[in-house]
């Protein structure tokens, strides 16, 4: 995958920090959305309740005004006939005088739509306003008359405000005087209510915005803490990794020096001595041949040939220990069988090797690792176990490959078993971990209960079909 940001190459710790930051950001975003939604819902309910409460107060006030006005002239209306023009004129004068506040007034329309009383807007008196609508298209006079015919009720519409001349929302309460065919009512402008509601909504938005700022600030602080913690852990892990790398490098160098020392000792103590013996035998044979003593020259030559044969065998053994050719030529099974037979011959310890025949599908690295593990285990058994019998089992299965090495020796001391501090066991464990396998050590000290090493390598150590090291038609021991 192409890197679109070549200058940004995050480290492992930074990747972990970013991985930790993504859920935090998503959780914060979800919390913000939820808080906003819940806050707006709650605020809308509260604002709606406030609006209803304010409007109810206005409506109660309007009803009270109409009731007081009716009580002021009801003695005239109650005794007048439907066509008593004098009574109607007297009531109209009383209503025209009833103004309150800056914009409050009473209005009267007959059922034909003619305006009878309009003290704040006298130009409308005597005009027929049937069919009048406000700027939103809401019927005004016709709806007021319709409500009055039914007895009483409320109507909301836009109407020019007397104090400013601008249209504002008005709520009216109207009652009908059926014998005179009058619609009497009064109204109050509710722009103050709308301003109060708008101010409440603006306050809610400000609070939500502040909440966003608080959540954003907390998120930024949390992200800074996450990245700072990631940087600290990254630095710490890097230092630990550097220390482990130095330790591992030193151990590799120590192992190399130990192996070189072992090979040098074997060459000096074994092959070198044998070659010196061969040289002496050849010198003796050469002198006798020069003296024409051919019969006596055969004895040192025979000894020299024997020493040379032994030296060749030692060279082959050392070569096999360094890199067994049978492992590359025939596979892991024959290599382990040859190793166990040589171990039994050299040490006199009874050694058995068992394997299940399966396809030769082990990767080369896995073959080498299992062979070296077996070699290391046999070396430890020879040096420390005091065993008389060793059993090695190798088998492939659905989950991978398993090798177990068991002896009947004295076992490991408790402290060594817990710490696994021996270099041989550490080498085995590191080889297994490099192949993502598992290493189990079973041992109990005393009573010659023995020790068992179990190594399991996963299916990743097996090659896919068609990539076998040997032809698929040849069933070989792994």
Hey, what domains does the chain have and what are their CATH numbers? 100-189 (3.30.450.20), 326-461 (3.30.565.10)
Strands 115-117 and 438-443: unpaired
What are the tens digits of pLDDT across the range 57-75? 888 888 888 888 888 888 8
Q: Is the pLDDT of residue 470 over 50?
A: no
Tokens of 14: 């930074």
Q: Best-predicted range by mean pLDDT among 83-87, 217-221, 426-430?
A: 83-87
Q: Quick one: pLDDT at residue 6?
A: 52
Tokens of 75: 């003695």
Measured between its terminal Cα atoms, the distance across the chain in Å is 37
Instruction: Find residue 439's DSSP bridge partners.
Output: 455
Q: Are 376 and 424 in contact (CB under 8 A)?
A: yes
368 in helix, strand or coil?
A: helix
412 in helix, strand or coil?
A: coil
Residue predicted with more confidence, 82 or 417: 82
Q: Is the pLDDT of residue 127 over 70?
A: yes
Q: Quick one: pLDDT at residue 308?
A: 81
Q: Model confidence at 107, in pLDDT bands (50, 70, 90)?
A: very high
Of 156-170, 255-269, 287-301, the range with the lowest mean pLDDT is 255-269
Mean of all residue pLDDT scores within the chain: 80
What are the tens digits of pLDDT across the range 385-409? 888 899 999 988 777 889 999 998 8
Q: Quick one: pLDDT at residue 420?
A: 47
Q: Best-predicted range by mean pLDDT among 229-243, 307-321, 322-336?
A: 229-243
Tokens of 93: 């004068």
**For the range 120-125, what are the long-range contacts, defined as Cβ-Cβ under 8 Å and sequence gap of 24 or more?**
120/162, 121/160, 121/162
**Distances from the Cα of 167 to the Cα of 136, 164, 170, 174, angstroms:** 11, 8, 9, 20
Q: Quick one: pLDDT at residue 445?
A: 60
What are the tens digits of pLDDT across the range 173-212? 999 999 999 999 998 888 877 788 888 888 888 888 888 7
Residue predicted with more confidence, 443 or 463: 443
117 in helix, strand or coil?
A: strand
Q: Quick one: pLDDT at residue 454?
A: 92
Closest C-alpha among 398, 382, 424, 401 to residue 478: 401
Of 32-36, 119-123, 127-131, 137-141, the range with the lowest mean pLDDT is 32-36
């Amino acid at each position: 995958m192409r890197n679109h940001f070549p200058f940004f190459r995050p480290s492992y710790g930074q990747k972990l920090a970013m991985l930790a930051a993504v859920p935090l950001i998503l959780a914060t975003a979800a919390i913000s959305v939820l808080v906003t939604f819940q806050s707006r819902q709650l605020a809308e309910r509260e604002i709606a309740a406030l609006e209803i409460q304010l409007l109810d107060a206005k409506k109660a006030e309007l009803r009270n005004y109409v009731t007081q006005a009716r009580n002021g002239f009801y003695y005239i209306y109650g005794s007048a006939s439907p066509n008593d023009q004098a009574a109607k004129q007297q009531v109209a004068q009383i209503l025209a005088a009833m103004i309150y506040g800056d914009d409050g007034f009473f209005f009267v329309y007959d059922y034909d739509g003619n305006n009878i009383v309009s003290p704040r807007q006298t130009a409308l008196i005597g005009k027929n306003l049937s069919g009048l609508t406000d700027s939103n298209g809401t019927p005004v006079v016709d709806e007021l008359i319709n409500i009055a015919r039914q007895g009483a009720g409320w109507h909301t519409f836009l109407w020019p405000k007397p104090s400013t001349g601008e249209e504002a929302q008005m709520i009216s309460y109207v009652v009908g005087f059926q014998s005179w065919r009058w619609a009497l009512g009064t109204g109050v402008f509710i722009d103050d209510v709308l301003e109060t509601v708008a101010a409440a909504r603006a306050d809610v938005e400000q609070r939500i915005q502040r909440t966003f700022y608080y959540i954003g600030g907390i998120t930024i602080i949390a992200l800074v803490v996450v990245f700072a913690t990631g940087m600290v852990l990254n630095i710490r892990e890097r230092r630990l990794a550097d220390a482990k790398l130095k330790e591992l490098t030193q151990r590799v160098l120590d192992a190399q020096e130990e192996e070189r020392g072992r090979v040098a000792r074997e060459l000096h103590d074994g092959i070198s001595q044998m070659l010196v013996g061969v040289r002496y035998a050849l010198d003796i044979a050469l002198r006798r041949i020069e003296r024409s003593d051919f019969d006596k020259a055969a004895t040192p030559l025979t000894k020299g040939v024997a020493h040379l044969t032994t030296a060749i065998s030692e060279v082959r053994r050392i070569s096999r220990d360094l890199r067994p050719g049978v492992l590359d030529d025939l596979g892991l099974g024959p290599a382990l069988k040859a190793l166990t037979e040589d171990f039994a011959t050299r040490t006199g310890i009874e050694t058995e090797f068992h394997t299940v025949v399966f396809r030769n599908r082990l990767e080369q690295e896995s073959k080498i690792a299992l062979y070296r593990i077996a070699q290391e285990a046999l070396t430890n058994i020879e040096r420390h176990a005091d065993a008389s019998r060793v059993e090695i089992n190798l088998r492939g299965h659905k989950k991978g490959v398993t090798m177990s090495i068991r002896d009947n020796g004295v076992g490991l001391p408790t402290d060594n078993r817990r710490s696994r501090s021996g270099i041989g066991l550490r080498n085995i464990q590191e080889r297994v971990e490099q192949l993502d396998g598992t290493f189990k050590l079973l041992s109990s000290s005393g009573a010659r209960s023995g020790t068992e090493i179990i190594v399991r390598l996963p299916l990743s150590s097996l090659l896919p079909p068609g990539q076998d090291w040997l032809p698929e038609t040849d069933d070989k021991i792994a």
